[in-house]
A and B are shown apart, each in its own frame.
Chain A
Amino acid sequence: MHPIVSKEQLSPNVTRLVVVAPRIAEIRQPGQFVIVRRGPGAERIPLTIADVDKAAGTISLVIQAIGKSTHELTSLSVGDAITDIAGPLGTPTHLMAGGHAVCVGGGVGTAVAYPIAQALSRNGVKVTSVIGGRSKDWVIYEDELRAVGEVIVCTDDGSYGRPGFVTEALKELCEAGGIDEVFAIGPVPMMRACSELTRPYAIKTTVSLNSIMIDGTGMCGGCRVAIDGKTQYACCDGPEFDGHKVDFRMLADRLNTYREFEQAALERWTSSHSGAAGMTLAEAGQPASAEAH
């Protein structure tokens, strides 16, 4: 059992849970994730480890409430416990030493980018973060990222930072030159756009893929993605891959596999939890399976 020691609402649908998981806190490396099962009967879902406190033996899980499982997780309170957390899983981020990296975070993907930015900074890399949200309320992890480098905030409605998408800010940085690597983490269309943008500049671009998973150890093969035409498993070969080689169309397509099921499950859940801040998948603007990010 993993007790929840703190809970914080970061944006209208993103919640941070700090949970007790000492072993994972001790050994996790940037880029790794856990598989969480809230309790008996619950789904197993992959969630990124946004941060750890080794001394306290806790890890931070940043969860976007989209489907039933994520709504249930974010409905838990301090003092409640999560039954199962397995990990740390996935291949850690390959961290360069020195140079200049740009970390692009879209929505909840910003929380995935944060531990990477933090580790890069510790490695002597100059980090520029470009983070975005639909409006000011949706921007997360800004203060944490400011602690490791410059931050450019973009909002779709211009209510905060510069107006427009993260890709526009990224383009300007690419044109200015001197970038050794770009990390782009967020919704599939954003990662695809960032990868296409950096391709002509031949800047190495790493993305973190949020495939559907069950075990997270390579056993089910459900998370398969096509990298340079070859099938790989996001859970153990990834989740980070070269964005210039990812088949994003296939990824987006496979993420939609259970869309109807997820919509129905969410509707059942919201109707039995009247008053809960439930959204439809369409309102959330992405498939429920994109929960990892």
Chain B
Amino acid sequence: MDDLTLAARAAAKPEPLPKKERMKLLRGAMPEQDAMARARNFAEVNLGYTEQLAIMEADRCLQCPKPYCIEGCPVAVNIPNFIRLLGEGNVKGAADSLLGDNALPCVTGRVCPQETQCEQVCLRAKTGTPVAIGYLERFVADWAITHTDSFERATPAPSGKKVAIVGSGPAGLTTAGELTKRGHKVTIFEAFHAAGGVLIYGIPEFRLPKDIVQKEVDRLVDAGVEIRPNSIIGKTYTLPELRAEFDAVFVAVGAGLPVFMNVPGENLKGVYSANEYLTRVNLMGAYNPDSDTPVLHGQRVAVVGGGNVAMDSVRTARRLGAAESVCVYRRSRTELPARIEEVHHAEQEGVRFEFLTAPVEVLGDEKGWVSGLKCVRMELGEPDASGRRRPVEIPGSEFVFPCDMVVVAIGTRSNPLLTATSPELRINKWGYIEIDDNLQTSMDGVFAGGDIVRGAATVILAMGDGKKAAQNIDAYLRGELAAPAAVEASAAH
């Protein structure tokens, strides 16, 4: 067996393995923290590939002449290229390739739903298990972030143009990185005191360590991006004010309003929106007992919803000491929108799932605290507009789940603070910003992307928008972009 280190690979320069040999290699498992231990701490669950695991996994890639994985990636990372370089022991080359395509690879390597994107279309998935693209991405990205001295600071010729970005989440950070590479001066306006958006207030430490996000942000700041915290567009400044001061604006504020269930008892003490619960724990650090910001430590916790935010909440509750932490979802396991790995990890950590169950009321005690969640059982009926089978209530199936905390994680919607003060900006009836194919809004020089356009989605889709926005903003600044296609008028405003 080869000495499977990067240095040995780089020195030996072995011939590429024949395809037949590659096909024999099995997908390497991600080393993880023990499930029982991690169910009570906030340290990262996935520990990351070792050099040996990474090289063995890189050897599994068939280097397809027509790589479907690239098409499967919303930011079109040249996956076979960085994997080939990694397999040759050239991790620096792999990192250069990856960073050229993806501004936040440490993040996407951890939180992307690879199973429905690059890995789903990997040729090896047809006959077995796909190449662990996400794990390899993370390995290379983590190497890059711990070897910043190996990278020369790029100094693109200044374009003399200034761009404002509203929101420092995945879309905003991606656009900032791409525009900076092209020589534009970028200023990001962030409402919170720290940059990162959902990456710091939403996604928990155990899935995406905050120091990793900070390093990604630091990399952008080093490249010349200015971040203005505590700047709420719509309050501190308006969008028209920004537009007057900057040559272009990219609006990437996310979908910043929680959706509640609209059932009785929802304002009892102990009912949180997932936004509030996760922000207290993550951004404000309430998982630390010495934190100034309090958070309730429920003993029996019901989390309503089946997406990644629900998984983050239900696993957080477990870590904060819940004896029972239950995910209540109105459809069945098959329809769960969360990443498979998150569901799997949650179950390993002792989280229980109540499928085909919908809450109808939050019950409270005489002191105004949550005492239970009244639910009904559901069955799946005909497919609805989304193509998923619609859950239908089973009459007479009501039951009460006794609990002392409820977290509502059924989605978010658009926050009107920015749009309310931008009368020229056209929005649809749900309050999302309308854009054309080039991500241009109805305001000249104002682009938008991420959740404020598409509704609550994923980190990587927001990053895809960010990348596309940067290309179009760059073209706009060079006077090469067609005027916005007429965005259809709507009843909004």
Binding site for B on A (CB under 8 A): 23-24, 27, 37, 41-44, 68-69, 83-89, 214-215, 217-222, 224, 226, 231, 236, 250, 253-254, 256-258, 261-262, 265
Docked Cα-Cα span, A84 to B231, in Å, equals 10
Q: Take A86-B232, A220-B258 as given contacts and tell me if A262 and B269 are in contact as well, using a CB distance cutoff of 8 Å.
A: no
Distance (Å) between the CB of A113 and the closest chain B CB? Answer: 22
A residues near B416, Cβ cutoff 8 Å: 218
Q: Take A69-B292, A86-B232 as given contacts and tell me if A215 and B368 are in contact as well, using a CB distance cutoff of 8 Å.
A: no
Q: Which of A68, A215, A219, A231 contacts B292 (CB 8 A)?
A: A68
A221 touches B193 (CB 8 A): no
Distance (Å) between the CB of B111 and the closest chain A CB? Answer: 20
Q: Take A23-B236, A86-B230, A231-B266 as given contacts and tell me if A44 and B193 are in contact as well, using a CB distance cutoff of 8 Å.
A: yes
B236 touches A219 (CB 8 A): no
| B271-293 contacts to A (CB < 8 Å) | 272-273, 275-276, 279-280, 284-285, 291-293
Provide a sorted-by-A list of 22 A–B residue pairs whose CB atoms are within 8 angstroms. A43-B284, A43-B292, A44-B193, A84-B230, A85-B230, A86-B191, A86-B192, A86-B236, A87-B230, A89-B232, A215-B192, A217-B191, A218-B257, A218-B415, A218-B417, A220-B275, A221-B258, A222-B273, A226-B267, A231-B260, A254-B368, A256-B269
Asked if B256 is at the interface of the complex by the 8 Å CB criterion, the answer is yes
Docked Cα-Cα span, A86 to B237, in Å, equals 11
Distance (Å) between the CB of B191 and the closest chain A CB? Answer: 6
| B314-373 contacts to A (CB < 8 Å) | 367-368
| B193-212 contacts to A (CB < 8 Å) | 193
Docked Cα-Cα span, A215 to B253, in Å, equals 14
Asked if B16 is at the interface of the complex by the 8 Å CB criterion, the answer is no
A84-B193, A220-B258 are known; give 6 further A-B pairs, CB within 8 A.
A87-B236, A214-B293, A217-B191, A217-B235, A254-B368, A256-B269
Docked Cα-Cα span, A105 to B384, in Å, equals 54
A residues near B231, Cβ cutoff 8 Å: 86
Docked Cα-Cα span, A222 to B237, in Å, equals 24
B residues near A222, Cβ cutoff 8 Å: 272-273, 276
Q: Take A41-B285, A41-B292, A44-B284 as given contacts and tell me if A220 and B279 are in contact as well, using a CB distance cutoff of 8 Å.
A: yes
Docked Cα-Cα span, A215 to B279, in Å, equals 9
Q: Give the nearest-CB partner of A41 in chain B.
A: B292
Asked if B294 is at the interface of the complex by the 8 Å CB criterion, the answer is yes
Q: Which of B232, B266, B293 contacts A44 (CB 8 A)?
A: B293
Asked if B296 is at the interface of the complex by the 8 Å CB criterion, the answer is yes
A residues near B192, Cβ cutoff 8 Å: 86, 215
Q: Which of B191, B273, B293 contacts A43 (CB 8 A)?
A: B293
Docked Cα-Cα span, A68 to B269, in Å, equals 22
Distance (Å) between the CB of A37 and the closest chain B CB? Answer: 5
A residues near B276, Cβ cutoff 8 Å: 214, 220-222
Q: Take A87-B235, A217-B256 as given contacts and tell me if A250 and B292 are in contact as well, using a CB distance cutoff of 8 Å.
A: no
A-B CB contacts (within 8 Å), total count: 102
Distance (Å) between the CB of B256 and the closest chain A CB? Answer: 4
Q: Take A214-B276, A219-B275, A254-B269 as given contacts and tell me if A84 and B296 are in contact as well, using a CB distance cutoff of 8 Å.
A: no
Q: Give the nearest-CB partner of B412 in chain A.
A: A219
Docked Cα-Cα span, A254 to B271, in Å, equals 10
B residues near A258, Cβ cutoff 8 Å: 294
Q: Which of A23, A219, A231, A236 contacts B279 (CB 8 A)?
A: A219
Docked Cα-Cα span, A224 to B276, in Å, equals 11
Asked if B445 is at the interface of the complex by the 8 Å CB criterion, the answer is no
Distance (Å) between the CB of B292 and the closest chain A CB? Answer: 4
A253 touches B191 (CB 8 A): no
Q: Take A43-B284, A84-B193, A219-B257 as given contacts and tell me if A257 and B269 are in contact as well, using a CB distance cutoff of 8 Å.
A: yes
Distance (Å) between the CB of A259 and the closest chain B CB? Answer: 10
Docked Cα-Cα span, A130 to B460, in Å, equals 56
A24 touches B236 (CB 8 A): yes
Docked Cα-Cα span, A254 to B270, in Å, equals 9
A residues near B484, Cβ cutoff 8 Å: none
Docked Cα-Cα span, A219 to B202, in Å, equals 11
Distance (Å) between the CB of B294 and the closest chain A CB? Answer: 4
Q: Which of B229, B267, B294 contacts A84 (CB 8 A)?
A: B229
Docked Cα-Cα span, A5 to B276, in Å, equals 34
| B228-274 contacts to A (CB < 8 Å) | 229-232, 235-237, 256-258, 260, 266-267, 269-270, 272-273
Q: Give the nearest-CB partner of A86 in chain B.
A: B230
Docked Cα-Cα span, A85 to B193, in Å, equals 8
Distance (Å) between the CB of B282 and the closest chain A CB? Answer: 11
A residues near B417, Cβ cutoff 8 Å: 217-218, 236
Distance (Å) between the CB of A235 and the closest chain B CB? Answer: 10
B residues near A226, Cβ cutoff 8 Å: 267
Q: Which of B230, B260, B285, B293 contacts A221 (CB 8 A)?
A: B260
Q: Take A44-B293, A84-B230 as given contacts and tell me if A215 and B191 are in contact as well, using a CB distance cutoff of 8 Å.
A: yes
Interface centre among A89, A219, A231 (most CB of B within 10 A): A219
B269 touches A253 (CB 8 A): yes
Please name the 9 residue pairs, one residue from A and one from B, whose CB atoms are nearest each other, closest first: A220-B276, A86-B230, A261-B294, A253-B368, A84-B193, A221-B273, A258-B294, A43-B292, A221-B258
Distance (Å) between the CB of A45 and the closest chain B CB? Answer: 9
A residues near B257, Cβ cutoff 8 Å: 218-219, 221
Docked Cα-Cα span, A254 to B266, in Å, equals 12
Q: Take A42-B292, A253-B368 as given contacts and tell me if A224 and B267 are in contact as well, using a CB distance cutoff of 8 Å.
A: yes
Q: Take A41-B291, A86-B230 as given contacts and tell me if A214 and B284 are in contact as well, using a CB distance cutoff of 8 Å.
A: yes
A214 touches B279 (CB 8 A): yes
B229 touches A250 (CB 8 A): no
Q: Take A23-B236, A85-B230 as given contacts and tell me if A37 and B294 are in contact as well, using a CB distance cutoff of 8 Å.
A: no
